Amino acid sequence: MINITKYSSSDMDVNTYVLAKDGHVLVIDPGFSGIKVINHCENHHLKIDGVILTHGHIDHIRDLKMLLNADVKIYIYKEETDFLKNPNLNLSTMFRNDFVLDKNISITAVDDEQVMDFFNEKIKFIHLPGHTKGSMGIIYNQHFFSGDTLFYDGIGRTDLPTGNIGKMQASLKRILSTLPKNTVVYPGHGKGGKLAEIISINPYLK
């Protein structure tokens, strides 16, 4: 079983998730919590194998570079890879600190419904466009990491570059038709909860 640890940052209230098993780690959306992740891994003698990005906005990727070494893979949806090289798409220009990933750093582009094996645990990626063209969710058993597609009581913005409200609505319908109601949702911002509870209070799921 994978152990899940959540770290949050006061900067933009962005969530980072550390998934650990057998001394190895996958990090979902390092955001502004890079130092916290590094300290967590050092304190628990864990090795980072990969970083999974739900999408390419700066608040989710800012501390990516500090986690990288030759052994760490970056996983991002295939239509989102250009966000890691374009400060206008990843919105880092808004903060006057352009984020551009070195062209020599390898990126693993994943596909819709692709399944990743992590020490005999199955992790599935699903394409959920709307917030950005290549936003994706991550499913592990009854756990769902929703990025900025679905929040506890709202959804991510659709008025930023490559956002699309129609695609967002289709993605929300896919979540509802795909996931069991007892799935625990881990959003990119704010608190999470059981999908059934979120459905009962989130106006965008009515």
Domain boundaries, the chain: 3-205
Rounded average pLDDT over 15-41: 98
pLDDT value at 159 more than 90: yes
pLDDT value at 11 more than 90: no
What phi and psi values does residue 23 have, to the nearest 5 degrees? 80, 5
25's enclosing H/E stretch is strand 24-28
Q: 150 falls in which pLDDT band (50, 70, 90)?
A: very high
Q: Which of 139, 141, 156 is nearest to 190 (CA)?
A: 156
The overall pTM is greater than 0.85:
yes
pLDDT value at 206 more than 90: no
The single-letter code of the amino acid at 47 is K
Task: Identify the pLDDT of residue 17.
Answer: 98
DSSP letters, 136-204, are: EEEEETTEEEEETTB-SS-B--SSSTT--HHHHHHHHHHHHHHS-TTPEEEESBS--EEHHHHHHH-GG
Task: Identify the pLDDT of residue 23.
Answer: 98
At CA 38, angle to CA 34 and CA 40, rounded to 5?
115
pLDDT digits 0-9 by tens, 123-138: 999 999 999 999 999 9
Rounded average pLDDT over 70-95: 96
DSSP SS3 for 103:
coil
DSSP SS3 for 130:
coil
pLDDT value at 10 more than 90: no
- Residue 203 has a CB neighbour count (10 Å cut-off) of 8
CATH number of 3-205: 3.60.15.10
